[in-house]
Amino acid sequence: MDEIPLTLLFVILGFLILLSGFFSGSETSLISLNRYRLRHLVKVKHPGAIRASRLLERTDRLIGLILLGNNFVNILASSIATIIALRLMGEAGIAVATGLLTLVILIFAEVTPKTLAALQPERFAFPATYVLQPLLRIFYPLVWAVNLLANGLLKLLRIPVESGSIQALSAEELRTVVNEAGAMIPRRHQTMLLSILDMEKSSVEDIMVPRNEISGIDLEQEWSEIRRHLFDSQHTRLPVYRGVIDNIVGIVHARNILRLFLEHDLTRENFMEAIREPYFIPEGTPLNTQLLNFQRERRRIGLVVDEYGDILGLATLEDILEEIVGEFTTDPAHLMREMHPQKDGSWLVDGGTSIRTLNRALGWSLPTDGPKTLSGLIVEYLETIPEPGTSLRIAGHPMEIVQTASNTVKTVRIYPEQQKGAGQDRTAHV
């Protein structure tokens, strides 16, 4: 070593520090790669991504190679720095060399390259694979021996060392990914994706038409009344029953009726032949499950029944799709018949309005884990049929009962969150 010029030693030391920075940055960049983006780049045949993916198949070998190289160059750099210090300052220079080399390696071989690699992992990792792949082949026996000892130690500690595949994301983790996608996914598409994730939390009761609002054909009516109902109906599929909806006969499609009408063959007998058997949906069926059931059964409409077989309501494929894409066929005038804006900022709302519809239309967050209508929510909370003038507060919204009928709340005035309702006969807070 005494024959080697100091200039060459300084050049070798600088080169070793650069190598140390390369190994440090390579480790951080490869570990920081987005695994899902990496999968996509592999599918589109990106060369750097393919090489990186192969290296990451055995993370233990990759880390073993990088640490082996990093430690080797750091130790060699320390030895050369010691030789330089001894030549320049004697034994007193060893301490100085140790301190200076520590600072240099920390700044130029650790913090700076690792920070750069963490900020731009792909720009650092993909070129690094050109060097790491052949190095792994050359030093494979040594890397294998190091991994064998390290993995054996981990097994003694009962820590699994098998290289598993990319962990699957849970629904909540996927929700976070969608929310943080920012401009990469249009806001409208984000809303649709989140709605799909929410479908497993909702059941058919959340979107069904209650039995008292089901429009159908009563076979006990006169034939003239049935014909008039068929041609005046706004629905393409109608339940057919005898007397009450529980005595369901089936479902009739308006298209079949129109064909019979055009052929001048619309009689009661032909009408009965056009009726298709009903399709029943058990209560509590999640929306994502029912969507698949509709697809498998080739149905678009079903009757929701409880455990005793009593009909609770009617659910359609269109209602489920609207949970994903929003209400695209609902008549706005229908909503305005249920919700009337007032000059003071309050809303007069029909008690039979669906809570989910109310939340979606006005951006509120009334609880949906209990009753499905506003009337049911109020009655459940008060545990009695309220009198007109009764006031309460649910989810921060002051409400005043305007009108009741029979055993339901007919009309409710809902105030904005920052305002108070008049006539505070009874106030409650959720």
pLDDT for position 250: 93
CA gap 258, 304 in Å, rounded: 27
Label residue 349 exposed, middle or buried (CB < 10 Å: 0-12, 13-18, 19+). Answer: buried
Which fold is adopted by the domain 332-414?
A: 3.30.465
pTM above 0.85, yes or no: no
Query: Hey, do 206-320 and 332-414 end up sharing a CATH topology, with the first three levels equal?
Result: no
Asked if residue 253 lies in contact with residue 237, where contact means CB atoms within 8 angstroms, the answer is: yes
> pLDDT per residue over 12-44, tens digit each?
999 999 999 999 999 999 998 988 889 889 999
Q: How far is CA 346 from CA 338, 340, 349, in A?
A: 14, 9, 9
CA gap 228, 134 in Å, rounded: 82
Kindly state the average pLDDT of the residues 118-136: 92
pLDDT for position 421: 42
What rounded mean pLDDT belongs to the chain? 85
> pLDDT per residue over 49-86, tens digit each?
999 999 988 888 899 899 999 999 999 999 898 888 88
Query: How large is the C-alpha radius of gyration of the chain?
Result: 36
Closest CA to 281 of 326, 330, 319: 319
**In percent, how much of the chain has pLDDT > 70?**
91
Kindly state the average pLDDT of the residues 297-302: 93
Domain borders along the chain are 6-156, 171-200, 206-320, 332-414
Kindly state the average pLDDT of the residues 364-379: 85
206-320 sits in which CATH class?
Answer: alpha beta
